[in-house]
Every structure is written in C-alpha cells, then in structure tokens.
Amino acid sequence: MKNHGKSYPLLSIIITLCTFILVLFISLVPTAMNRNFYEDQFIENNTTQKAELTLNDLNKLIDHTLKYTYGNLEHLQYQITTIDGITKDAFNDREIAHMEDVQKLFISGRRLTSVCAILFAIITFFLIWKKDKINHKTFTISLLTLASIFLIMLAVLIYAATNFDQAFTIFHQIFFNNDLWLLDFNDMLIIMLPESLFYAIATRTLIKFLIFIGIISGLLLFLRHHYIKKEKKLVS
C-alpha cells in the first residue's frame, strides 16, 4: 500500500514524551498535595500519638509543609505545641536541609512540566494544522514510543512492588546528591511522612497513571485506524 501524506517521527516522539511527563505529573500531584489524603493517613497510622500533637495541629503542620514544598513559603520551620503543652520547633536542621532539596526538586518538576505543556500544545496545533497531510505512521510512532515507556515503567513498578524499601532508597540516591534524607525515626518528617504513606501515594499515582495511559493509547489507536482507512480510500 502506498503511503499518502508525511510522518513526523521526531515530533511524534517528543509529544509522546511530553505526554508521559504531563500524565505522570497530574497523576502524582493531586494526591501528593492533598491535605485530606494526609489526614486519612494520620488517622490510619495513629500519627497524632506518635507526634504528640492533636489532629488539628498535625493538619496545620502538614498544610505548612506542603505550602513550603510547593514553593509558596520561604522557610520550613514551624512552631508546634505538643499535647503536654511544650512549645518547640517542629523540625531540626537536617530535616530543614533535606526539605530544601525536596522543594528544589519539586519546583524543577513543575518547570519541566510547564515546558512539556508548552511543547505539547505547539506540536498538537502543528499536527492539527497538518492533519490532511500526515499519515498513520505519525500515530504508529507515538504508540511505539508510549509502549516503550510503559514497558520501562512496568519493569520499575514490578521491582518497586516486590522490594519497595530498596526502590525507595534507590529513588533517593538518584534524585538527591547527599544523605540528608537519612533521618532519625524520631524526627518529625519521619513520624509525619512514614514510608507507608509514600507507598499509598505511589499506589494511587499508579492507578491514575494507568487509566490516563489507557485512554491516550485508545485515542492513538483510533486516530491510527482512521488514517489507515483514509489512506486506503485514496488508493482505491
């Protein structure tokens, strides 16, 4: 069958990579920045007793921490009053230093997502403009790129599911160039944000991610099928 139109392999790969970043971001952030999610985790993990704070004070502390992580506050330190009436700093110097790294990582992620959103919009408008001059290979390349990314992610997820402790450690070793993330079990960050909480975030993120990827894959398959039918008509 003779191909009509033109494919744009580089644009297909770029828009698919941008889509992956955008989907990952919108799958992760709503849960990672949701105070109600943390409150449920506090109740489930009995965090109020471990932190020696009321649920209301713990919620205020996580609100403050999330605002700092998102880049809306300049300083992390926060004064808390324990159930016994003792007023003290919530975080020690090591925790503050680690959260500075976390904030930088999160802000970098937001910037990367913004760049991907802009590239996604530009390429999408270009492909719409060229919709009558492209062929099905444009969508085939996107599907293959998406499938490759998915297989890599699947391998990572299987590894993380079977050995979450080690995967959690490797994640920190990759994204942080120091050992500040190795905190004491009595530190407020560890009490407030235990490993089980991150596992819950990862699980919710994975479910949303798979749903979005399924929808996008279905759309790409539909478009590919549409252009194949269109090309067959042109040669008949």
Domain regions of the chain by residue span: 9-29+93-235
DSSP 72: S
The pLDDT tens digits for 226-235 are: 888 887 777 7
- The pLDDT tens digits for 11-69 are 999 999 999 999 999 999 998 989 899 999 999 999 999 999 999 999 999 999 999 99
Rounded to whole angstroms, how far apart are CA atoms 107 and 194?
A: 22
Q: How confident is the model at residue 4 (pLDDT cuts 50, 70, 90)?
A: low
Query: What is the structure's pLDDT at 236?
Result: 60
Would you give the DSSP letter of residue 6?
B
192 beta partners: none
227 CB-near residues (< 8 Å, 6+ apart) = 5, 134, 135, 136, 138, 139
Assess contact for 209 and 21: CB atoms under 8 A: no
What does the pLDDT read at residue 24? 92
Q: Give pLDDT, residue 145.
A: 92
Tokens of 142: 């996107």
Q: Express each pLDDT in 72-129 by its tens digit.
A: 999 999 999 999 899 999 999 999 999 999 999 999 999 999 999 999 999 999 988 9
Residues 159-192: pLDDT tens digits?
Answer: 887 888 888 889 899 999 999 999 999 999 999 9
Band of residue 1 on the pLDDT scale cut at 50, 70, 90:
very low
In this predicted structure, the answer to whether residue 5 has a pLDDT above a threshold of 70 is: no
